[in-house]
Structure 1
Amino acid sequence: MGHREDLLEGAKRCLLEKGYARTTARDIVAASGTNLASIGYHYGSKEALLDLAFLQVTEEWGDTTTDAPDRLGAKTAADAPEDPFGQFREVWERVIGSYGETRAVWQLQLEVISRIDTDPALRKALAGPQGDARNGLARTMLGIDPEADPERARVAGLFCQALLTGVMVQWMTDGESAPSAQDLTDGLKAVLEGRVS
């Protein structure tokens, strides 16, 4: 790897270990084995590097829960349940089941969300990938193909993203009473059917 890639990997490690606000340029240099001038040369600023590193961390976390089911003990895509509620529950089992090993990512996401009102560049960096993220959530959680039905995928992705953020906050603040995958599935049924099956 060159300095550019080393810096990005170092920044990702720093974000997960120290968070966004506490990561300094010197931390990134120490973690990457590079030098301070490399940050400006390759990324323009520490903040631009951290923004990109954050996007990659969250993308990798998303891959962990959607594209790598075997890693978390889930079934393969070919074995996924035909029942959409079953698919929804299985995805949430993976997301919640990964909480212990991905807690640092969840903490980082909440920290970054709290910064967007005072950091226009960060807000802009986060806005770009939102559509792809929502499409991925619609596909993974509800089995909706964004290419076949883009509007349905868009609104379903908005719903899933709102749900994911809410579940994340509940697990971060009170894991004892936070919802299980079955709770979320029953809640979705209750909303759709007016009762829990």
Structure 2
Amino acid sequence: MTSPRRRDAAGTRRLLLEAARRRFARNGYAATTVRDIADEAGVNVALINRYFASKEGLFEACLQGVGNELGDAVVGVDQVPRIIARQLSGAHKGEHPNQLLLLLRSSGDERAEEIRLGILRSFAERMAAAGNCAPGNEDCLLRAQVLLSAALGLALLRSTTTMEPLTSADEHDLLAPLQDLFDALLPGR
């Protein structure tokens, strides 16, 4: 006789978040079903409602996780290009979902959209701060937002085209041009 399967709420929640991030980043919110996510995570679809209340709740949790990962990672000026290069290099190799790509996906849910835009704003503000910009410096914030836009554009091109050498570039290949872009846009560091 086999013993009953031990429940692991934290592990199940983590599996659902990982599967949802991959699916939302790859297919977008509308094209992703809760059944797709649950199947990929290897769990019962009802657990999405148990842990996240709904598909919208799961999407919000994915976005909040992205915000935490990206925001917490910006600890120093030298880290910004490296963080962006790491994020850009992950998705096309299937290693982990490209968090920047996930931030391009809109859900249609008002609360999730607020969170998504808040994460984008916060990341741009942190990049500006990493570039030694004074709080409230609109020109500097605009430059950080342009840098973020370039990173999002790179994520989009890498996921939707086979444009070489961009598509096959790894983290190391991307780091120098991203550093140059960062230095050009935020030279006050």
1:42 aligned residue? 51
Q: Secondary structure at the match of 2:47?
A: helix
Which of 1 and 2 has higher RCO (CA within 8 Å, sep 6+)?
Answer: 2
Runs of 4+ in 1 over 6 A off after TM superposition: none
Change in Cα spacing, 1:4 to 1:36, as seen in structure 2 (3 Å) is same
RMSD of aligned C-alpha atoms? 3.7
TM-score w.r.t. the length of structure 2 is 0.60
Measure how far apart 1:160 and its partner are: 0.8
Q: Secondary structure at the match of 1:97?
A: helix
Residues in 2 aligned to 1:11 and 1:132: alpha-carbon distance in whole angstroms: 23
Change in Cα spacing, 1:91 to 1:54, as seen in structure 2 (3 Å) is same
**Within the alignment, does 1:185 sit opposite 2:179 as a pair?**
no
**Within the alignment, does 1:24 sit opposite 2:33 as a pair?**
yes
| Alignment-mate amino acid for residue 56 of structure 2 | E
Measure how far apart 1:46 and its partner are: 0.9
2:129 aligned residue? 139
Percent identity, aligned pairs only, is 25
8 Å CA contact 2:63–2:116 kept in 1: the answer is no
Residues in 2 aligned to 1:18 and 1:95: alpha-carbon distance in whole angstroms: 23
Residues in 2 aligned to 1:183 and 1:129: alpha-carbon distance in whole angstroms: 21
For residues 144-187 of structure 1, the C-alpha deviation after alignment (integer angstroms, 9 at most, x for no partner) is 4xxxx6434x7644531332113431564367689923255245
For residues 91-129 of structure 1, the C-alpha deviation after alignment (integer angstroms, 9 at most, x for no partner) is 45414532322563333333x1xx36x442332232444
TM-score w.r.t. the length of structure 1 is 0.58
Residues in 2 aligned to 1:167 and 1:157: alpha-carbon distance in whole angstroms: 15
1:122 aligned residue? 112
Residues in 1 aligned to 2:165 and 2:58: alpha-carbon distance in whole angstroms: 36
Change in Cα spacing, 1:126 to 1:186, as seen in structure 2 (3 Å) is closer
Measure how far apart 1:18 and its partner are: 4.2
User: By percentage of residues, which structure has more helix?
Assistant: 1
Alignment of 1:1-197 (within 5 A): 1-2=8-9, 3-63=12-72, 66-67=74-75, 87=77, 90-91=78-79, 93-95=81-83, 97-98=85-86, 99-102=88-91, 104-110=98-104, 112=105, 115=106, 118-129=108-119, 132-140=122-130, 142-144=131-133, 150-152=135-137, 156-170=140-154, 172-173=156-157, 180=177, 181-186=179-184
Give aligned pairs, total: 159
| Alignment-mate amino acid for residue 44 of structure 1 | A
Residues in 1 aligned to 2:25 and 2:70: alpha-carbon distance in whole angstroms: 12
| Residue ranges of structure 1 left out of the alignment (5+ in a row) | 68-76, 78-86, 193-197
Residues in 2 aligned to 1:38 and 1:14: alpha-carbon distance in whole angstroms: 17
